[in-house]
Amino acid sequence: MSVEKLILPEGYHSKLDIIETEIAIKLAKDTFERLLAERLNLLRVSAPLFVRPQTGLNDDLNGVERPVQFDIKELGGDVQIVHSLAKWKRLAIKRYGIERGRGLYTDMNAIRRDEDLDNLHSVYVDQWDWEKSIVPADRNMQTLKQTVHGIVDVLRKTQKTLHERFPVLENFLEQDVTFISTQELEDRWPNLTPNERENRIAKEKGIVFISGIGGRLRSGERHDGRAPDYDDWTLNGDILIWYPVLGRAVELSSMGIRVDAPSLTRQLELSGCEERRHLTFHRQLLSGELPLTMGGGIGQSRLCMVLLQKAHIGEVQASVWSDEMIETCEANGIHLL
């Protein structure tokens, strides 16, 4: 595990001590979760920690990450710890009979063993996974933008609540969200990498929603990878903020309108993943058995890190780090839990 990419802010010190930090984490999570459920009309449900591989329910992220897999004696087969619940939630919408305009959310816990660990990335992932029922008329950018506005509003209200309880925490997220596509970013800065483009636009605007992630741009390159079987690549995106503590853009949420049968077929072909058509989830979707939905994930620890103005995600969650990272952080005023 290398610390070469670790960002060490000069003169950094936490604005909250460890007890205040734990209190603030609870306040941030409780406030954001409650406001999100109210704003998006979501019901909290229980969700699995692991699923069977043959169901096709696990999120394969960029297609190269290895899931944690183990056998269960009573089943006589293996299960995988989830990477996310992007597809499971869609089945839950159907099972629970949730109608248009309503949805569900859950606490998702995952292990991503292949993460490159740094200030923002941990092997342990915790996020709010949410999903809403929609109809064909809702599959458009207007629906997506309205939902993004709602999430950003909840973020700002949570920030305000924390500032009222801990005045030392600044209200630095007060801008309106700016919408821009990955193609517009490439057209604007063709000589920059996708990561550099994200940093430039986030620093300029403060809060941005970057849409159109997964497909190839006119240059033939992808802005970023995205699994072909949950988001529609023309109707998805990420919420990013400019984070002054680290001097870089930070992604807080990945979300989108989910694939219907035509977009799933197209994206499986483009990705060379047509064999997935035979998995349980994909067969149901292609045959029209699953409802249309939109949804996303919002990182809990990352949100707490940003709102508590910490320099490392390990300051707000207990995970596993190399001795080198722990020692380097400690020497620079960053105390990992």
- pLDDT, tens only, 280-335: 888 998 998 999 999 999 999 999 999 999 999 999 998 988 899 899 999 999 99
Residue 3: pLDDT band by 50, 70, 90 thresholds?
Answer: confident
Collapsing DSSP to helix, strand or coil, 27 comes out as helix
| DSSP SS3 for 316 | coil
157's CB contacts (< 8 A; 6+ apart) are 31, 35
Q: What is the mean pLDDT of residues 114-141?
A: 92
pLDDT score recorded for residue 60 = 65
- Topology (CATH) of 18-172+259-331: BirA Bifunctional Protein; domain 2 (3.30.930)
Whole-number average pLDDT of the chain: 91
Type of residue numbered 32 = F
**Average pLDDT for residues 85-114, to the nearest whole number?**
89
**Residue in the structure block whose two tokens are 């406030």:** 31
Residues marked active site are found at 59, 112, 127, 238, 251, 254
The pLDDT, as a whole number, for residue 281 is: 83
Residues β-bridged to residue 238: 210, 254
DSSP E strand stretches across the chain = 42-44, 50-51, 69-72, 77-81, 103-111, 124-133, 178-181, 207-211, 231-243, 248-258, 293-299
Percent of the chain with pLDDT over 90: 69
| Span between the terminal Cα atoms of the chain, in Å | 18
d(CA 26, CA 36): 15
Residue 79, pLDDT above cutoff 90: no
